[in-house]
């Protein structure tokens, strides 16, 4: 049985994970050939916010703004109603709100 975490605990763990993550794998993603697509599961794409590939072969990679996220995490971690916990739990579950609400 998993212990319920407070919003502040979840915020801290997410910020630690983001602080340790590096954008290198997001850049690698832009240069993968179609034959290398099976390696996507091995990449750390924690910081990846958006990825676009144009029909001309160009790629646009956008990463999470760590400062903006840290400010929002701090703001939500001070929420005593538990809404922050549901928000962070949804993020931890990859955006699925199935167990978060």
The pLDDT tens digits for 11-23 are 777 777 887 788 8
Task: Give per-residue pLDDT as tens, 19-36.
Answer: 778 889 999 998 888 889
In whole angstroms, give the CA distance from residue 90 to residue 44: 19
Closest CA to 60 of 68, 71, 51, 49: 51
Indicate whether 62 pLDDT > 90.
yes
């Amino acid at each position: 049985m998993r212990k319920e975490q407070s919003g502040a605990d979840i915020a801290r763990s997410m910020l630690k994970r983001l602080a340790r993550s590096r954008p290198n794998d997001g850049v690698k993603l832009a240069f993968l050939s179609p034959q290398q697509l099976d390696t996507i599961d091995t990449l750390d794409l924690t910081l990846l916010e958006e990825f676009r590939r144009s029909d001309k072969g160009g790629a646009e990679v956008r990463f999470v703004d760590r400062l903006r996220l840290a400010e929002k995490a701090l703001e939500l971690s001070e929420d005593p109603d538990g809404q922050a916990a549901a928000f962070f739990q949804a993020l931890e579950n990859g955006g699925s709100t199935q167990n978060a609400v």
